[in-house]
Amino acid sequence: MTGAPGRSENWTLPDPAVAGDGMYALIRDLYPICRSITGNGVRETLRRLTRMIPMEVHEVPTGTRVFDWTVPKEWNIQDAYVKDERGTRIIDFARSNLHVVNYSIPVRAKMKLAELRSHLHTLPEHPEWVPYRTSYYSEDWGFCLSHRQLSGLSEGTYEVCIDSSLEDGHLTYGECYLPGERPDEILVSCHICHPSLCNDNLSGIAVSAFLAQHLANIRRQYSYRFLFIPGTIGAITWLALNQDRAHQIQHGLVVACAGDAGHATYKRSRRDGAEIDRVVEHVLKHSKRPYDIQPFSPRGYDERQYCSPGFNLPVGCFSRTSHGRFAEYHTSADDLTFVKPEKLAESLAVILAILSILERDRICRNQYPMCEPQLGRRGLYGQSAGRVPDDHTVAAMLWVLNLADGNNSLLSIAERADLPFDCIDEAARLLTTAGLVS
Amino acid sequence: MTGAPGRSENWTLPDPAVAGDGMYALIRDLYPICRSITGNGVRETLRRLTRMIPMEVHEVPTGTRVFDWTVPKEWNIQDAYVKDERGTRIIDFARSNLHVVNYSIPVRAKMKLAELRSHLHTLPEHPEWVPYRTSYYSEDWGFCLSHRQLSGLSEGTYEVCIDSSLEDGHLTYGECYLPGERPDEILVSCHICHPSLCNDNLSGIAVSAFLAQHLANIRRQYSYRFLFIPGTIGAITWLALNQDRAHQIQHGLVVACAGDAGHATYKRSRRDGAEIDRVVEHVLKHSKRPYDIQPFSPRGYDERQYCSPGFNLPVGCFSRTSHGRFAEYHTSADDLTFVKPEKLAESLAVILAILSILERDRICRNQYPMCEPQLGRRGLYGQSAGRVPDDHTVAAMLWVLNLADGNNSLLSIAERADLPFDCIDEAARLLTTAGLVS
Amino acid sequence: MTGAPGRSENWTLPDPAVAGDGMYALIRDLYPICRSITGNGVRETLRRLTRMIPMEVHEVPTGTRVFDWTVPKEWNIQDAYVKDERGTRIIDFARSNLHVVNYSIPVRAKMKLAELRSHLHTLPEHPEWVPYRTSYYSEDWGFCLSHRQLSGLSEGTYEVCIDSSLEDGHLTYGECYLPGERPDEILVSCHICHPSLCNDNLSGIAVSAFLAQHLANIRRQYSYRFLFIPGTIGAITWLALNQDRAHQIQHGLVVACAGDAGHATYKRSRRDGAEIDRVVEHVLKHSKRPYDIQPFSPRGYDERQYCSPGFNLPVGCFSRTSHGRFAEYHTSADDLTFVKPEKLAESLAVILAILSILERDRICRNQYPMCEPQLGRRGLYGQSAGRVPDDHTVAAMLWVLNLADGNNSLLSIAERADLPFDCIDEAARLLTTAGLVS
C-alpha cells in the first residue's frame, strides 16, 4: 500500500500506453474462450483473472431461487459442426464459438437444408458477419453463419452435431473485494457471459480487472467491490444472495463496451442526479473530449437490476459507444480489431478520475467566514496585486472560502465555480494547511 | 353503455370523417341564429342541442347577484335596418345579424350621416369585412358594416330602426352532466353567446356537443360536466350558483376556436403543470402534428373565471388558432368557409385522446421490485434474445416495472420514458394480467 | 421632502443630461487627487463629497483588528521622481500619480539602470500606457511608466526619490445614511482608493454620490446606507465595526466601472435569485438595451466581503464593462476620455429604476377572488368590448387580480406576466383605488 490518503497522483495511470497494451493482451488471451452464463468458459476466464487480482470465485447451484428467477442448468460444449454430404465441416465451432447458438442443447441428426434452415441465423444486412445468438431460457439449438455462406448452401442432407451438455451444475461468478478505510462501497460490475466478442464485453472485463489491480495498490477511503458476473442472472443472483449488504453500495458503475473508438458515454442512474452521475459528468465535461450523457432507461446492462425499484442503487453505466448503437454489436465483427489499446486506457483513466473525485469529495468549513481571510500574509496570494487577476488557484481558493459554509461539498463548489475538481481540491488542501479551512 | 372500462378503443372516433361532417352540419344549422349573452337565440341554440345530448337548460332571472356581477336584462331583437332617402335598406339585420351591435337598445330615428356615423363600426384594415361589436354593459346602439360600404355612403338623412327589447328576463345556459363511476368531474366548457361566427364559437359548441354525445355512450370513470354558457357572465353565474360543487372538478377544458385550419393550441391552466396540462402536452407531443403550448394568462375565454384565484381550477383552453391571432376573429370572415370538417374532427379526436388518458391514468405497483421479474417464462419477452432489442412493448414493460414504485402514475412513466401513454398503458395491462403489477 | 410615497416619477432623473454633466464634472474635479487605501487623498475626496451629501467621515486607527485583517499604516506622498544624469525628471509624480507604485515606501538613492529596472513597471502590450500598481501589504517601492519610455532609457546612473510616509495613522471612509420609513436598509457601496483612474472607480463614486443626493430629496420607504470606502480593507473594516447592524441590509449594490461606453452588466449576489438579483434583471430586461448578467463569483469588488459566507448579504455588483474586461483597466488609459456623461446618466437612471421597484414592490390581495370583478362598471374597462383586446393596462389589471392571492409580490406578477413592473404597479394602484385590491 503506497501513497498518502487520497492524493490525486495515485489515481492517475502511471503509463497509459502500458496499461492499454496490458488490457489488450488480456482481451486477446480471453478472446478464444467460449463463455456463457454458466459453465467452464466462465470458470476459465475467472481463473485467469485470479492471477491478476484477489478474487473469490462463487459457485451457485442450479435450481437456487434468486428472487423471481432460478439459477439455470449449467451449459458446456465440446464440439459442434454441420457437415455437408461430402463430410466437410462447413460450419465449425472450432473455428469460432459464435457459430453455435449459445446454450444449444445436444443434437446429433441428419436433415435436409429446408429443415436445417430454421436453425440457422444470419445477418442479411451484413452478409460477411456471423451473428451472436443465445437460447438461455428456452431449450433450443442453432447455428450462426454469414449470410454469404448461407446463400451458397446447396440443397441436400446435412449432418448436424452439437456436443454440448445442459445439466445441473453451477452458476459461477467472481467477486473482488478491496476493503478501504470506510465500509461504504463503490461497486464496479461487468458481465462475463459473452463468448468471442471483444468490446461487449472483454473490454469491460479488462478495464475492470486493471482497475482492481490499480486500486489494490493504493490507499482507499472507500471499499471496492468488483463483480465479474454473467449478465442479468448473475446480477440477480448476487443481489439475491447479498440483499442485506447491497445498501452499503454508495456509488456504482457498470462497465461495458469500453474499448471501441467512439467517445465516452455515460448512462445516468435511475436516481438521475446521484453523486456518481454528477461526478461522471464533471469528469467528462472537463475531459476536453467529446462525450455523451444519456438519461437512465431500463434497457441496457446490469444497471437494470441494480436500479430496479426495490434496490434503486446509484449505479450508472460507463461505456464508449453504447450497446446496440454500433453495427458490430453482437456479431463476429466485434473482434480484436474493433477494440483499441489507447481507448481501453482512456476508459480506465476516466474511471480512475471518477473514483478519485468520489474518494476526495468532502465538506470543508471556512474557519474565517466573516469577510475574506488575508491570503497575502499567509503566502497564498501572488505578488501581482493591482494586476488583472488570472491565477486559477487564487480563484479556486476564493471559491472554496466563499462556499465552504457546510452546505457544499468540494464537488458542489467545483460545479458552481465551473472549475475542475482537482483545482478546487488543491485549493482546499492549501487552505487546510494554512488553517483557514477545516 | 358499451365497452370494457377504460379501453382505449372506445376513446377513438369510429369514423373521423363522419364526425367532421356531422359537426360541420351542426355549425351550418346554428349559424344563422342571432345569439347573445341572453335571449331567444341562446334558447333556440340549446333547444337544437337538446336533440343530441341530455341537457338541462337553466334560466337565471335578470337581477340575480352572481359574485361581483348582476345577471343583465334579457336582449331580444326582431329586426333592424338603416334606410337611405329612397327607402332602401342599405344595412339590414335580416342579411346578417353582425350588422347590429349586439345588445343595441331599441331605436327609431332619422338622422344625418354625420350623426349616424358615430354609431357605425367598420374595419378599415379589412374593407370588405363586417366587424362584430357588442355593448353588453353600457346601453347604446350601433350598426356594423364593411368599410367599403361606409366609404360609399352619401350625405343625407337616414332612417334608423332597431326593433329590439332589453327587459327583465333570464340568462339561459345549458348543462349536460354525464355521471361516471366516480363523482370526480371533468369540465368541458364552451361559450354560446356569439351570433353568426363559426370558429368563435360554433366550432366549440359543435366539438363539445359531439364529445358529450360520444361520452354518453361509453363507460366512464370520471363524471363529465358540459357547460354551454354565455361567455364571462355565464361562467360567473354557473360558478356562483355551484360554488360548493366546483371543487369536484379535477380537470377541465375550455373549447373555443376549434375548427380553423391552424394547428392545435393549448393554453395552460393557472396551476401550470396540473395533470390536464401535462396530459394535453403529452397528447400533442405524440400527435406528430405541429402544435403550440401557451403559458397561462388571464386573457382569453372562460378559463379566466375558472382560474380566478378563489377557484384556481385546473382548467386549460383548447383551440386551434387562438383567439385574436387570426385576422378573421370577430368579423364576418369567420364564416362557414373558415371552419373545416376535418379540423373539427381532429380537435374532437385530440380531446378524446386527452380524456382517455385522464380516464386510464393510475398508479401501479410492481409486485416484484427486487430485480426484474422473469418476463420470458411468462411469455412476455420475445424469442429474440441476443438480438438488438427494439420491441416497444418490452421497453414499455421494463419502464413500468422500473418506475411502478408507488410514486409514479402511468402518465409520469410515459413522460420519463418518452413513450406514448397508450404504449405504457398497454404494458401495464399485460403486466397486471401476468400478476407482476397491481 | 417632496412627492407622495413611492410614486415612480420621483425615481426618474428630471434631466439625465444635467445629471450626466454633473457627474462628469465631479469626476474631473476628483481625477488629479492621489488616493490610496489610506491617507489624505481619500480625506480630500470625501471632503469634496461632503459638499453634496450628508456624510459622516470615519477615521479608524492603524492597528485596529478587523476580522482576519489589521488596519494598515497610513500612506501619504508629497513628491516622487526619477532624474537622469542631467538632472531632468524623466519620471515625475507631479505629472501623474500613477507613476509611483501606490504605497511605495520612502526612497532616496542613486542607482544604475540595471538596479532601477527591477522597480520599473510597464505594459509591453500597450507601449503608450502607464500601468497602475500597488504594494499595499508588502513594503516595497516602484515606478510605473510607458513601455515606450522604458525602451528609450539609456544606461547610466539615475537619482530616485520617493518623498512618502508610511506611518501609524488612520483608515478613512465616508458613510452617508438616509433614514427611510422603515429601518430596513439598502446598501450602496463604492471603492474610493484608486488614484487617477476614471472608470475604476471615480465613475462609481460619482454615480453613488448623485444617487445619494437624489434620494436625500425624495420620500423613501427604505433607509439607505452609502459607503465610500477603500476597496477590500474598507469593506472589511465597516463590516467588522458594524457586525450587529449588517443584517438590516435587505438589498445592496456595489457600484463600479459605471461610466464607460459598454452596456450594463450585473453580477448576481451569492444568493443567486435574491430580490435584488430579480429586480436588476427585470429592469435590464425591460430597458430595451443590451445588457449582461453574470453569475456570482468570489472575484470582483467589495461584494466579495458582503457576500462572504458569514454575512451572505444579498449584494450584487452593477457596472458597465466589468472589471478586467476592458484593456484600459488599471492603466493611464482609464482617463477622462474613457468615461462618458451620457453613460454615467444611464447608469444612474438604471439604479434609480432598480431602487424604485424595491421601494414599490409589495404583496396585494384581490378582494374579489371568486371570478373576475366587473371592471366595466368601475370605469376600468375600455369601450372596446368585442374588439381584439390590446390594452396593456387592462392586461396588467387582470394579471394583478389573478395572481394577487397573497403568494405573489408585484414583482413576481410582473415576472410571470412578462410586463414591466411600472405597468403592474400602475394597475395595482388603479385596483386599490377602486377597492378591488388591498
In DSSP notation, C412-432 reads: HHHHHHT--HHHHHHHHHHHH
Q: What secondary structure letter does DSSP report for B275?
A: H
CA distance C228 to C242: 15
pLDDT category of residue C324 using cuts at 50, 70 and 90: confident
CA distance B426 to B421: 8
Contact state of A383 with C138 under an 8 Å Cβ cutoff: yes
Contact state of B403 with A307 under an 8 Å Cβ cutoff: no
**Identity at A221, one-letter amino acid code:** Q
pLDDT category of residue A10 using cuts at 50, 70 and 90: confident
Q: Is the pLDDT of residue C310 over 50?
A: yes
CA distance A392 to A397: 9
pLDDT in tens, A99-120: 999 999 999 999 999 999 999 9
> Which residue in C366, C369, C388 is closest to B330 by CB distance?
C388
Contact state of C67 with A377 under an 8 Å Cβ cutoff: no
What average pLDDT does the segment A168-194 reach?
A: 98
Q: Is the pLDDT of residue B158 over 90?
A: yes
Q: Which residues contact A161 (CB under 8 A, 6 or more apart)?
A: A79, A80, A81, A82, A83, A107, A108
The pLDDT, as a whole number, for residue B385 is 46
The pLDDT, as a whole number, for residue C249 is 98
The pLDDT, as a whole number, for residue C42 is 98
CA distance B143 to C368: 35
Contact state of C386 with B102 under an 8 Å Cβ cutoff: yes
Contact state of C68 with A372 under an 8 Å Cβ cutoff: yes
pLDDT in tens, B121-153: 999 999 999 999 999 988 999 999 999 999 999
Contact state of A236 with B371 under an 8 Å Cβ cutoff: yes
The pLDDT, as a whole number, for residue A380 is 87
Q: Does C105 touch chain B (CB under 8 A)?
A: no
The pLDDT, as a whole number, for residue C382 is 64
Contact state of C311 with A401 under an 8 Å Cβ cutoff: no
CA distance A63 to B5: 41
Q: Residue C395: its chain B contacts at CB < 8 A? A: 297-299
Q: Please state which architecture CATH assigns to domain B75-167.
A: 3-Layer(bba) Sandwich (3.50)
Q: Which residue of A has its CA nearest to C306?
A: A371
Q: Residue B402: its chain A contacts at CB < 8 A? A: 270, 298, 304, 307-309
Residues of chain A with pLDDT > 90, as a percent, come to 92
Contact state of A370 with C243 under an 8 Å Cβ cutoff: yes
Contact state of C134 with A385 under an 8 Å Cβ cutoff: yes
pLDDT category of residue C314 using cuts at 50, 70 and 90: very high
Contact state of A402 with C137 under an 8 Å Cβ cutoff: no
* Positive or negative: CA dihedral A194, A196, A202, A205: positive
CATH of C74-167, one of 3.20.20.70, 3.40.50.2000, 3.50.30.90, 3.30.70.560: 3.50.30.90
The pLDDT, as a whole number, for residue B322 is 83
Contact state of B310 with C373 under an 8 Å Cβ cutoff: no
The interface residues of chain B toward chain C in range 251-270, judged by CB-CB distance below 8 A, are 270
pLDDT in tens, C64-102: 999 999 999 999 999 999 999 999 999 999 999 999 999
The pLDDT, as a whole number, for residue B7 is 58
Q: Does B407 touch chain A (CB under 8 A)?
A: no
Q: Which residue of A has its CA nearest to C303?
A: A371
Q: Does A437 touch chain C (CB under 8 A)?
A: no
> Which residue in B133, B135, B305 is closest to C372 by CB distance?
B305
Mutate to test the interface with C, among B36, B66, B67, B97 (most CBs of C within 10 A): B67
Q: What secondary structure letter does DSSP report for B202?
A: I
**How many B×C Cβ pairs under 8 Å?**
82
Buried-state track C5-17, b at ≥16 Cβ within 10 A, e below 16: ebbbebbebeebe
Domain B363-433 annotated CATH 3.40.50: no
pLDDT in tens, A44-96: 999 999 999 999 999 999 999 999 999 999 999 999 999 999 999 999 999 99
pLDDT category of residue C10 using cuts at 50, 70 and 90: confident
pLDDT in tens, A247-288: 999 999 999 999 999 999 999 999 999 999 999 999 999 999
CA distance B113 to B153: 8
CA distance C21 to C29: 12
Distance of CA A372 to the CA centre of its chain: 44
Q: Residue B368: its chain A contacts at CB < 8 A? A: 67-68
Q: How far apart are the CA of B408 and the nearest CA of chain A, in angstroms?
A: 11
3-state secondary structure of C138: coil
**The Cα angle at residue A362 between residues A360 and A363, in degrees rounded to 5:** 160
* pTM of the predicted structure, to 2 decimals: 0.93
Domain B8-71+170-354 annotated CATH 3.40.630.10: yes
Residues of chain C with pLDDT > 70, as a percent, come to 96
Residue with cell 354551454: B228
CA distance C118 to A171: 76
**How many A×C Cβ pairs under 8 Å?**
81
Q: Does B227 touch chain C (CB under 8 A)?
A: no
Contact state of C389 with B135 under an 8 Å Cβ cutoff: no
What average pLDDT does the segment A16-35 reach?
A: 98
The complex's ipTM works out to: 0.94
Q: Is the peptide bond before B201 cis (omega within 30 degrees of 0)?
A: yes
Q: Is the pLDDT of residue B388 over 50?
A: no
For C398, the enclosing helix (H) or strand (E) is: helix C392-403
Q: Which residue of B has its CA nearest to C368?
A: B68
The pLDDT, as a whole number, for residue A382 is 64
The pLDDT, as a whole number, for residue A366 is 98
Q: Does A114 touch chain C (CB under 8 A)?
A: no
3-state secondary structure of C248: helix
**The Cα angle at residue A114 between residues A112 and A120, in degrees rounded to 5:** 100
Contact state of A401 with C102 under an 8 Å Cβ cutoff: no
Q: Beta strand C405-409 with C363-365: parallel, antiparallel or unpaired?
A: antiparallel
Q: Does B189 touch chain C (CB under 8 A)?
A: no
What average pLDDT does the segment A218-237 reach?
A: 97
| C175 close to C211: Cβ distance less than 8 angstroms | no
pLDDT in tens, A297-325: 999 999 999 999 999 999 999 999 987 78
Residue with cell 337565440: B41
Q: Residue A368: its chain C contacts at CB < 8 A? A: 67-68
The pLDDT, as a whole number, for residue B8 is 62
Q: Which residue of C has its CA nearest to A436?
A: C68
Q: Does A376 touch chain C (CB under 8 A)?
A: yes
Q: Does C371 touch chain B (CB under 8 A)?
A: yes
> Which residue in A366, A395, A403 is closest to C299 by CB distance?
A395
The pLDDT, as a whole number, for residue C390 is 41
> Which residue in B372, B385, B401 is closest to A134 by CB distance?
B385
Q: Is the pLDDT of residue A3 over 60?
A: no
Buried-state track C416-433, b at ≥16 Cβ within 10 A, e below 16: bbebbbbbbbbbbbbbee
Q: Does B294 touch chain C (CB under 8 A)?
A: no
Q: Is the pLDDT of residue B4 over 60?
A: no
DSSP E strands, C93-156: 107-112, 120-121, 143-144
For A108, the enclosing helix (H) or strand (E) is: strand A107-112
Q: Beta strand A143-144 with A363-365: parallel, antiparallel or unpaired?
A: unpaired
What average pLDDT does the segment C189-204 reach?
A: 98
The pLDDT, as a whole number, for residue B281 is 98
pLDDT in tens, B320-362: 998 778 999 999 999 999 999 999 999 999 999 999 999 999 9
Contact state of A371 with C329 under an 8 Å Cβ cutoff: no
Q: Residue A232: its chain B contacts at CB < 8 A? A: 372
CA distance A386 to C71: 19
Q: Does B35 touch chain C (CB under 8 A)?
A: no
Q: Which residues contact B75 (CB under 8 A, 6 or more apart)?
A: B36, B37, B38, B39, B102, B103, B164, B165, B166
Q: Is the pLDDT of residue A385 over 50?
A: no
Q: What are phi and psi of C381, to 5 degrees?
A: -130, 135
Q: What secondary structure letter does DSSP report for A322?
A: P
Q: Residue A66: its chain B contacts at CB < 8 A? A: 371
CA distance A402 to A428: 12
> Which residue in B388, B401, B404 is closest to A324 by CB distance?
B388
**The Cα angle at residue C26 between residues C101 and C61, in degrees rounded to 5:** 50
Q: Is the pLDDT of residue B214 over 70?
A: yes
Q: Is the pLDDT of residue C3 over 50?
A: no
Q: How far apart are the CA of C386 and the nearest CA of chain B, in angstroms?
A: 5
Q: What are phi and psi of C58, to 5 degrees?
A: -100, 145
The pLDDT, as a whole number, for residue C7 is 57
The pLDDT, as a whole number, for residue B390 is 41
Summary mean pLDDT of chain A: 94
| C113 close to C158: Cβ distance less than 8 angstroms | yes
The domain spans of chain C are 8-71+170-360, 74-167, 363-433
pLDDT in tens, C208-261: 999 999 999 999 999 999 999 999 999 999 999 999 999 999 999 999 999 999
Between helix B16-30 and helix B40-50 the angle, nearest 10°, is 150
Summary mean pLDDT of chain C: 94
For B350, the enclosing helix (H) or strand (E) is: helix B341-360
What average pLDDT does the segment C291-313 reach?
A: 97
Give the count of beta carbons closer than 10 Å to the beta carbon of residue C4: 8
pLDDT in tens, C382-438: 654 444 334 788 999 999 999 999 999 999 999 999 999 999 999 999 999 999 999
**Nine-digit cell at C299?**
472575484
In CATH, what class is A8-71+170-360? alpha beta
pLDDT category of residue A376 using cuts at 50, 70 and 90: confident
Q: Does B325 touch chain C (CB under 8 A)?
A: no
pLDDT in tens, C130-152: 999 999 988 999 999 999 999 99
